[in-house]
């Protein structure tokens, strides 16, 4: 990893594809019709063009306002989130059916202002999708739930439980102070202990981590039996977020994937634009 205090120039391999064709407009129309949010828009994901062009999207439930303020994230924040939309599970299930999805990914903002932090709403959303479309597999990217919160989500029988550690222990200050490496590890460990079929996490590269720190993190994740690892380049969404420390070359992503696979992960997705839900179906389908 490069050790430099200079702001790096954006390299030629970082090129975001604009939405093309008619499929992304079809996805946009369905989402608008049901009044749904996606992490693709709210977090300014670089893969929107590709994913929406393929007819896929990662749904973001519990509103578009997060009660936490991570320094790398563009989602708007407030002490209190929006009122929970009671018909959202049914709207989500209808959208999944209309989009003819075989694999649905659901994530959310953090809702520390709710008694159950939104875990019950996650359960209702999963159940609604599986009731309306029984063959659809559901992956959920959850906050740092534990105890009853985690039991509530698992009771709906999701196919994949994902939770992001985001970065190595030394750099956890880019996250909200209420989050931590240890809490995230406990969420992933408890999910597996309570019977999650597959667990998954993601690391953003280019925040200043070293290879040695990454290898140690791989080992920590395998000790708690995390199945799927995703690694992608951190891209500063707006000038308000923490700047990129380094742009990682594509061949380094390939090299890191090999090192991670050697640690025993069942699947590793590693490329500059990789995100937790990027190619989620491909990352999990061979492991079901």
Q: What would the pLDDT profile of 27-40 be if each residue is shown by its tens digit?
A: 778 888 999 987 65
Assess whether pLDDT exceeds 50 at residue 54: no
Residue 2 lies in a domain: no
Is 138 among the domain residues? yes
C-alpha–C-alpha distance, residues 98 and 206, integer Å: 38
- Asked whether residue 16 is assigned to any structural domain, the reply reads no
Q: What is the CATH number of the domain that holds 244?
A: 3.20.20.70
Percent of the chain with pLDDT over 70: 83
Residue 17: the pLDDT is: 56
pLDDT digits (tens, 9 = 90+) for 137-167: 999 999 999 999 999 999 999 999 999 999 9
- CA–CA dist 84, 248 (Å, integer): 39
Long-range contacts of range 66-70, CB-CB < 8 Å, 24 or more positions apart?
Answer: 66/109, 66/110, 67/109, 67/110, 67/111, 67/112, 67/113, 68/110, 68/112, 68/176, 68/178, 68/179, 69/176, 70/166, 70/174, 70/175, 70/176, 70/179
Residue-number span of the structural domain to which 144 is assigned: 23-285
In a domain, residue 11? The reply is no
- Per DSSP, 94 falls in state H
pLDDT tens by residue, 250-282? 999 999 999 999 999 999 999 988 876 555 555
SS3 of residue 30 by DSSP: helix
Q: Report the pLDDT averaged over residues 100-115.
A: 93
Instruction: State the chain's mean pLDDT as an integer.
Output: 87
Task: Tell me, yes or no, whether 18 lies in a domain.
Answer: no
Residue 208: is it exposed, middle or buried by C-beta count within 10 angstroms (0-12/13-18/19+)? buried
Alpha carbon distance 216, 164 (integer Å):
16
Residue 125 lies in a domain: yes
pLDDT for 43 equals 43
Q: Which has the higher per-residue pLDDT, 44 or 236?
A: 236
Using the predicted structure, report yes or no on whether residue 115 has a pLDDT greater than 70. yes
Q: What's the full length of the chain, in residues? A: 288
Task: Say if 88 falls within a structural domain.
Answer: yes
Give how many domains the chain has, as a whole number: 1
For residue 77, the model assigns a pLDDT of 95
Question: Does residue 12 lie within any of the structural domains?
Answer: no
């Amino acid at each position: 990893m490069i050790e430099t205090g200079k702001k790096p120039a954006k390299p030629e391999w970082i090129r975001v594809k604009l939405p093309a064709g008619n499929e992304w407009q079809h996805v946009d129309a369905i989402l608008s019709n049901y009044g749904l949010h996606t992490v693709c828009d709210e977090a300014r994901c670089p893969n929107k063009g590709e994913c929406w062009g393929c007819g896929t999207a990662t749904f973001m439930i519990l509103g578009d306002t997060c009660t936490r303020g991570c320094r790398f994230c563009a989602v708007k924040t407030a002490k209190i989130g929006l009122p929970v939309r009671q018909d959202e599970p049914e709207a989500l299930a209808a959208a999944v059916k209309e989009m003819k999805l075989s694999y649905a990914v659901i994530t959310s903002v953090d809702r520390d202002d709710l008694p159950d932090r939104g875990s019950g709403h996650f359960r209702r959303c999963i159940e609604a999708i599986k009731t309306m479309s029984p063959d659809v597999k559901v992956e959920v990217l959850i906050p740092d739930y534990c105890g009853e919160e985690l039991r509530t989500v698992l009771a709906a029988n999701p196919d994949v439980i994902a939770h992001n550690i985001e970065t190595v222990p030394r750099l956890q200050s880019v996250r909200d102070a209420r989050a931590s490496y240890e809490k995230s590890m406990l969420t992933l460990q408890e999910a597996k202990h309570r019977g999650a079929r597959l667990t998954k996490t993601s690391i953003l590269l280019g925040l200043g981590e070293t290879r040695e720190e990454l290898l140690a993190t791989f080992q920590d994740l395998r000790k708690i039996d995390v199945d799927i690892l995703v690694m992608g380049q951190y891209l500063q969404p707006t000038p308000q977020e923490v700047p990129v420390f380094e742009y990682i070359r594509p061949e380094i992503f390939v090299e890191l994937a090999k090192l991670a696979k050697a640690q025993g992960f069942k699947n590793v997705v590693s490329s500059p634009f990789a995100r937790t839900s990027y190619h989620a179906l491909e990352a999990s389908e061979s492991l079901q």
